Amino acid sequence: MSLLDVQNFTARIYTDEALRREFFLAPERIGKENNLTDRETAELAAVYPEELNLFAESLVWKRLREVEKLLPLTLRHSGENFENYFRNFSQNFNPQSVKKHLEDAIHFCNYLQISESIAELVRNAAKFEQSKLEFWALNKRLIVRFFDFDVETGKVKKHFKIWLRFGKKRFVF
């Protein structure tokens, strides 16, 4: 296996708790399924699970803190559930772009919007902040979104928001 393949598998081990658990239960099988050589499998299996779990936890914690900075309204309306939502989301998503924190935040917002068990206010906050991030950071020209809540006050209020880029000028209505 190439160095890049080993690095990619190691990254998956760090970010996928189920894969990490399965690897330590059956390293030879998981190694073979992921095209690792016997030596590569043995080297990875020699790492203590506690050390690997600690490092993996630190990576999730860093991602969480960066996403919290980008999504203050979603964080506020989610309260103590924000961390649990993010941990569930991060088990199935690993950003690939150079703007990892932005990609994490945008995909996390999408995850919140399609999760039926999430409160409607939180889903609206996620939709609002995803739209804002896409407009400002991804240079979208036009975004129109309808909301059931005023996400800044938390009050029920049906309205819409428009983000418009015309040349170098930006407008938000």
Residues of the domain holding 109: 48-172
41 lies in the same domain as 113 = no
Q: Which residues in 80-116 are b (16+ Cβ under 10 Å) and which e? A: eebeebbeebbeeebbeeeeebbbbbbbbbebbeeee
Residue 40: per-residue pLDDT: 92
65 lies in the same domain as 127 = yes
Residue 1: per-residue pLDDT: 62
43 lies in the same domain as 57 = no
pLDDT surpassing 70 at residue 14: yes
Lowest-pLDDT choice from 5-14, 88-97, 111-120, 141-150:
5-14
99 lies in the same domain as 113 = yes
96 lies in the same domain as 25 = no
How many structural domains does the chain have?
Answer: 2
Q: What is the pTM of this model?
A: 0.82
55 lies in the same domain as 38 = no
Taking residues 61-75, what's their average pLDDT? 97
> What are φ and ψ of residue 164, in 5° steps?
-135, 130
39 lies in the same domain as 94 = no
67 lies in the same domain as 28 = no
